[in-house]
Amino acid sequence: MTWLITGGAGYIGAHVARAMTDTGEPVLALDDLSTGIPERLPADVPLVEGSTTDAGLLKRLLAEHEVTGVLHLAARKQVAESVAQPTRYYRENVGGLATLLEAVAEAGIERFVFSSSAAVYGDPGVDPITEDTPCAPVNPYGETKLAGEWLVRAAGRAHGISTVCLRYFNVAGAAAPELADTGVFNIVPMVFDRLTRDEAPRIFGDDHPTPDGTCVRDYIHVVDLAEAHLAAARRLDDRSGDLTVNIGRGEGVSVRELITVIGEVTGDRRPPVIEARRPGDAPRAVASADRAAEELGWTARRSVREMVESAWQGWLLHRGG
């Protein structure tokens, strides 16, 4: 059995590749290298450079490598960019998925894991967020992930493909410094970037209806997330049908609490600057993690401090600190 990981040279994809190969699962990576880094991949993982929009390439590699399951992580994922370039997001995230699923169905592959997002929920106003919470995404990125889930489930029913959709919450950390996220798009690297430039961290709004007035989020260590993909892949070996699962710790951490941990880890404890709320920021977004435990036998094991410590080591390596 060989698993294809699309987006396999990316931050999350490389961690998934490592989790799979560490347990003896043969893996093939596909990545267009727009953000992926080949050196992240284990040495024994073949890398094919290309896009999920390339039907001919997909057909060839699925056959040549005798792929029997797909972990689909390749996607554009920046909210602001999706607002500015919605057609690009729909073309690559939904169109690329459709092309991939057509190739998967033609090849007779029966296992498919889809990388989704908590962005499908929008601002649901419930705590905790369960998989049955109504979805109402508030940006094109979230819309493409929800449309992707619909497409995955529909293709699964039509072609006998067993599927799992994993709704990630906020991902941070690294298994090793060289695997760290090199982008500055999420809160942990954004705070690191401010501190490195000798600037105070920013908090957008301290008057939310939360215990300390700042937004509360559910953070998941990327290694735990990678292990969730492994658990999903193994579930598909044993059971058919479709499953949608939140991937989070089920615990809320406020922005102020997170910045305090970052200060302790980095040694830079300067107080944050309070700025106006950003439109669309939900006061609280925390997963119910019960279904993942019940259906996948998986629970997150790593703490927020471990996320910050490992991310900081990666930041120092990549930013030369």
Neighbours of 312 (CB within 10 A): 23
Handedness of CA 298, 304, 305, 311 (dihedral sign): positive
Question: How far is it, in rounded angstroms, from Cα 75 to Cα 117?
Answer: 11
219 is catalytic: no
Cβ density class 19-29: b for 16+ within 10 Å, e for less: bbbeeebbbbb
| Sequential DSSP letters for 76-134 | ---HHHHHH-HHHHIIIIIIHHHHHHHHHHHHT--EEEEEEEGGGG-S---SSBPTTSP
**Active-site entry in 11, 89, 141, 219:** 141
Neighbours of 225 (CB within 10 A): 25
Closest CA to 187 of 209, 215, 166, 212: 215
CB 109 within 8 A of CB 62: yes
CB 248 within 8 A of CB 316: no
Contacts of 47 (CB under 8 A, 6+ apart): 8, 9, 29, 30, 31, 38, 41
Q: State the catalytic residues.
A: 141
